[in-house]
Amino acid sequence: MKLARDSKAWISAPILLTAALVAIGNWYFSAVALLGSAFMLSFHRDPDRMPLGDGMVAPADGRIIQATDDVVSIFMGPSDVHVNRAPLDGVVQKTEYRKGGHLPAFLCRASNNQQNRIKLETIDGIIEIRQITGTIVREIVCYVRPGDRVVRGERLGMIRFGSRVEVTIPESYDLQVKLGEKVRAGETIIAVRHP
């Protein structure tokens, strides 16, 4: 299983705890720690993905909680892959960290939570990807810097433990997803160019 970048510390801690508890014979707590290890491994998985057609791909796994001609918001639940991906080919123009609240990520007001904004210049104009934290650990990891060239579906970063991702839609694109739909980062087409 491929794991997300910079996730070894998060995964190794519960594994070491499990081993220590087994060594001292504490079977109940070692079983609990083993479940924690399994959760950490699952949460930090990072499978390879390929776009399922032409167009703008989803930047995150999860459920669509907002879908307009301008913005798509995706809520990532605990079972979703939390690695975020580039919706289109482009060049990173700017990354900007913003302080904010820590409301549950599925609420509309969570758009003002702590977040990282990535501005990406594409052939269809500048789009913005917003990595928004939720209520728990609230750690945003950004893999890209200004000047980096990315291709559609390439990894941009990840958010740990409860989060959402918003992406702006270019004016020349038509929305292909609806409220409540499940999407997969780097695979599901969320918008296509006007014919």
pLDDT of residue 136: 74
CATH of the domain at 160: 2.70.70.10
Q: Give residue for tokens 């504490």.
A: 26
Would the pTM count as exceeding 0.85?
Answer: yes
Whether residues 71 and 154 share a domain: the answer is yes
Q: How far apart are the first and last CA of the chain?
A: 39
The pLDDT assigned to 162 comes to 67
* 13 and 38 assigned to the same domain: yes
Is 49 among the domain residues? Answer: no
103 and 15 together in one domain: no
The model's pLDDT over 38-75, given as tens digits with 9 standing for 90+, comes to 777 777 789 999 888 899 999 999 999 999 999 999 99
Q: What is the identity of the amino acid at 80?
A: D
Tell me: do 98 and 20 sit in the same domain. no
| More reliable by pLDDT, 23 or 124 | 124
Mean pLDDT score across all residues of the chain: 89
For residue 1, being part of any structural domain is answered with no
Q: Are residues 98 and 152 in the same domain?
A: yes
**Co-location of 38 and 89 in the same domain:** no
Q: Which of 160, 177, 143, 188 is nearest to 78 (CA)?
A: 160
Q: Using the Cα atoms of residue 177, residue 166, residue 125 and residue 50 in order, give the sign of their dihedral.
A: negative
Residue 90 and residue 18 share a domain: no
pLDDT value for 184 = 97
- Residues 9-29 have a mean pLDDT of 76
C-alpha distances (whole Å) from 179 to each of 75, 88, 145, 171 are 11, 21, 31, 20
Number of domains in the chain: 2
Whole-number Å distance between alpha carbons of 100 and 135: 11
Does the residue 128 lie in any domain? Answer: yes
**Alpha carbon of 100 to those of 34, 115, 168: distances in Å?**
34, 7, 20
For residue 66, tell me if it sits in a domain. yes
Catalytic sites, residue numbers: 163
CA-to-CA distance for 94 and 18, rounded, in angstroms?
42
Q: pLDDT: is 153 or 107 the higher one? A: 153
Residues 39 and 61 both lie in one domain: no
pLDDT digits (tens, 9 = 90+) for 99-152: 988 888 878 778 888 999 999 999 999 999 999 998 876 789 999 999 999 999
> Whole domain around residue 37: which residue ranges?
8-43
Query: Is 51 among the domain residues?
Result: no
Average pLDDT over residues 84-112: 90
* pLDDT at 137 (0 to 100): 65
What angle is formed at CA 131 by the lines to CA 103 and CA 49, rounded to 5 degrees? 130
Cα 45 vs. chain centroid, distance in angstroms? 12
Q: Do the beta carbons of residue 120 and residue 128 sit within 8 Å?
A: yes
The reported pLDDT for the residue numbered 105 is 81
Dihedral sign from CA coordinates of 163, 38, 143, 182:
negative
Same structural domain, 12 and 104: no
* Mean per-residue pLDDT, 9-26: 76
DSSP-H helix ranges across the chain = 8-23, 27-43
Q: Is residue 146 part of a domain?
A: yes
